[in-house]
Amino acid sequence: MSSIKYDDYLLKDKLPLFWCGGCGNGNVLGSILRAFANLKFKRQKTVVVTGIGCWGKADDYINTNTFHGTHGRALAFATGIKLANPDLNVIALMGDGDGATIGGNHLIHAARRNVDITAVLVNNFNYGMTGGQYSGTTPEHSFTSTSRYGHIEEGFDLCKLAAAAGAPFVARGTVYGITQLDKLVEQALCKKGFSFVEVITPCPTHFGRLNGLKTASLMLNWIKENSVTKNQAEKMSDGEIRGKFVTGVFVDVDKEDYSTRYKKLQQRAAEAVEGGCDK
């Protein structure tokens, strides 16, 4: 039997990728497809749900079932898909604008509900698709096409957000550390319950250009220079950690996922055990 490879999931006739040279999206796509291959995902049983944005076009290159909906709503579509058929592997791919800004509410509630979905959120600190405007993760003081005087808002720490919302698996990787990213994505896909992986990614075309990092190598260096592992971070002060990308697994706990709980609810309903004090 020949082994399964990442490109068994790749739509090769759709290449070359539409993304800019130096964009990190292709690297993240690679990690995801390698994880599919390692885990021998069946195309028939897999649905990739994407949002709208540069990263939201990732489904154009994937040959599993796909669903490409609206900006910010990937997790809501994915929730319906997963609850309707819990046997499916459901993966949601979102940008930082998509999944954490316009769609932030769906992120916290999908995490809280613990729907068995893997969310891979590519954070390039801006809205790549629409010309590099600021998003909910744009760092304070940085420049974007709509923060030309320096951004005055603080950016979200998405891993803290997902953890606080109750996600049983939360991790952050970067495009610079692909080996680690491969592992994180695979771990997330194996997790029963809501798993969240944030990937720090370069957008040299917009974020890079306005922040003195206009080549791919400058951006990757910037990511490398500012990345610290979870263990290193634990020894750093709040001031030292500001602006750094802490990588690693932050949460990995076992929790009954939504569909398992719902099955039990269905059993109670079938036995006609309605709760409430009016009974």
Partner 1 sequence: MTVKGNVRFIQGNEAMAEGALAAGARFFAGYPITPSSEIAEVSSRRLPKLGGVYVQMEDEIGSIAAVIGASVAGKKSFTATSGPGFSLMQENLGVAVMAEVPCVIINVQRSGPSTGLATKPAQGDVMQCRWGTHGDHGIIVLSPSSVQDCYDLTIKAFSLAEEYRTPVILLADEIVGHMREKVVFQELQTDEIKVRKAPGCSPEYYKPFRLGEGVTPLACYGGEHVFRVSGSTHDEWGFACSRPGNAEKYIRHYTEKIENNRDRIVLTREYNLSDAEYTIVTFGCTTRSALEAMYIARSTGKRVGVLELVTLWPFAEESVMEACQNARAVIVPEMNLGQVLREVQRVVGRNIPVVGVNKVDSKAIRPAEILDKIREVETCLV
Ligand X SMILES: Cc1ncc(C[n+]2csc(CCOP(=O)(O)OP(=O)(O)O)c2C)c(N)n1
Binding site for ligand X (CB under 6 A): 52-55, 71, 95-98, 124, 127-130, 135
- Of the listed pieces 42-50, 118-126, 210-218, 246-254, which binds partner 1 according to CB under 8 A? 42-50
Among partner 1, ligand SF4, ligand X, none, what does residue 44 contact (CB within 5–8 Å per kind)?
partner 1
CB of residue 206 to ligand SF4, shortest distance in Å = 5
Does residue number 261 form part of the binding site for partner 1 (CB under 8 A)?
Answer: no
20 contributes a contact to ligand SF4 by CB under 6 A: yes
Asked if 273 touches partner 1 (CB under 8 A), the answer is no
3-state secondary structure the chain: CCCCCHHHHECHHHCCCCCCCCCCHHHHHHHHHHHHHHCCCCHHHEEEEECCCCHHHHHHHECCEEEECCCCCHHHHHHHHHHHCCCCEEEEEEEHHHHHHHCHHHHHHHHHHCCCCEEEEEECCEECCCCCEECCCCCCCCCCCCCCCCCCCCCCCHHHHHHHCCCCEEEEEECCCHHHHHHHHHHHHHCCCCEEEEEECCCHHHHHHHCCCCCHHHHHHHHHHHEEEHHHHHCCCHHHHCCCEEEEEEEECCCCCHHHHHHHHHHHHHCCCCCCCCC
- Is residue 203 within the footprint of ligand SF4 (CB under 6 A)? yes
Give least dist CB 117 to partner 1, A: 11
152 vs 272, beta carbon nearer partner 1 = 272
Cβ at position 71, least distance to partner 1 in Å = 9
Residue range at the interface with ligand SF4 (CB under 6 A); choices 4-12, 103-111, 180-188, 201-209: 201-209
> Least distance to partner 1 from the beta carbon of 176, Å?
30
From candidates 10, 23, 29, 62, binder to ligand SF4 by CB under 6 A: 23
Residues at the interface with ligand SF4 (CB under 6 A): 19-20, 23, 25, 54, 124, 128, 203-206
